[in-house]
Amino acid sequence: MKNINKTIVVGMSGGVDSSVSAYLLKEQGYKVVGLFMQNWQSEPGEVCTSEIDFKDASEVCDKLDIPLHKANFSNEYWNNVFEEFIKEHKLGRTPNPDVLCNREIKFKSFLNYALTIGADYIATGHYATLKNNDERKILSRAKDKDKDQTYFLHEVKEKEFENCIFPLSNYLKTEVREIAKNLNLSISSKKDSVGICFIGERNLKDFLGRFIKLEKGPIYDELNNEIGMHNGATLYTKGQRQGLNIGGIKDKDDLPWYVFNKDIQNNSLHVCQGINNPLLFNNGLECEKISWINNKEIKYPFNCLIQVRHQHTPIGCTINYDGKFIINFDEDIRGVAPGQSAVFYEDEVCLGGGVISNTL
């Protein structure tokens, strides 16, 4: 087999995707080495999900007969991901830690560590595709469009992708679970990880309250009538419905309420009724900078597709640059929130993206 002398280090999370990735690469003839990343130091009394995940990863590696290393990147995670996550929340924005986590941990700390232990390549369980085009490494969508993770990979540069393989690019999630089941892997029915990258699913109010002072404040309707109280404005994002605890307002329709604005300085939320309320929509946004994966020269105005959150259906847009990037949508988009990522595509190819600094 042509890959027999090539060493590939697979990021083993203890989940089904990385486990099946390791199996597929071994079947292709690679010398596969597993690497488990510990990126969060649990405090006394906390449920330590990383210990559970490491146990699962160890069982899988034993079953597949591959060695497993363990590396602690908790300092890098704290300094380069989590502090940024907290800073953005303090500013009232809605950050996406998965984007930072990919850029700073999986394709920097993990990649560098893997190379020091003899890797020719690294692999992860991401649903994404890497293609060669005129000697360039192009990031493209995976076969499973529902699971596609190119949105979260847009800040990784072409240089990091040169030594990377995504084994699941041509698999559906259902097929991956079936492979794990046929291999009798204990994690075949394990739920996908949710919540904050490497920290897990938590009560956001309780968790952020350890790092940010949260205070109750007023909720106003679109006419500036006070109709309720919230637990801290930074906990909410534009378009959010859950957690508002508003109901039975006199002279108001029996429709759900959504956040259309938040005022961090005055610790207040502004809400409106109805999922299609015009107050929830924007016709454009601003980015202070855009990270292009392939560093190709862009001539503005530039027309492409834009996606403003994971699984959002991309729509056409025009990017202009005048000291900052002004992006106008071909049609209005609901729930555009500063702090989230705007990611740009040409058909299936992910070009890059940037953090939303303002809405239009």
Distance (Å, rounded) from C-alpha 149 to C-alpha 126?
Answer: 6
- Are 236 and 255 found together in one domain? yes
* Domains contained in the chain, number: 3
Per DSSP bridges, beta strands 268-273 and 257-263 are antiparallel
User: CB count, 10 Å around CB of 263?
Assistant: 14
pTM of the model: 0.89
Q: Give per-residue pLDDT as tens, 56-92.
A: 989 999 999 999 999 888 888 888 888 888 888 888 8
Catalytic residues: 101, 197
Q: Give per-residue pLDDT as tens, 306-324.
A: 999 988 899 999 999 999 9
- Are 97 and 160 found together in one domain? yes
Nearest to 35 by CA among 74, 67, 69, 66: 69
Q: Average of pLDDT values for 167-188?
A: 93
Identify the domain containing residue 152 by its residue range. Answer: 7-182
Q: Give per-residue pLDDT as tens, 190-224.
A: 777 654 554 555 566 677 777 888 889 999 988 89
CATH of the domain at 287: 2.40.30.10
CATH of the domain at 34: 3.40.50.620
- Are 293 and 153 found together in one domain? no
Domain boundary among 232, 258, 275: 275
Query: What is the pLDDT, as a whole number, of residue 353?
Result: 95
Q: Report whether pLDDT(228) > 80.
A: yes
150 Cβ contact partners less than 8 Å away, ≥ 6 residues apart: 128, 139, 140, 141, 142, 343, 345, 350
- Are 177 and 238 found together in one domain? no
Residue 190 lies in a domain: no
- Are 12 and 83 found together in one domain? yes
- Are 71 and 101 found together in one domain? yes
Domain boundary among 136, 166, 182: 182
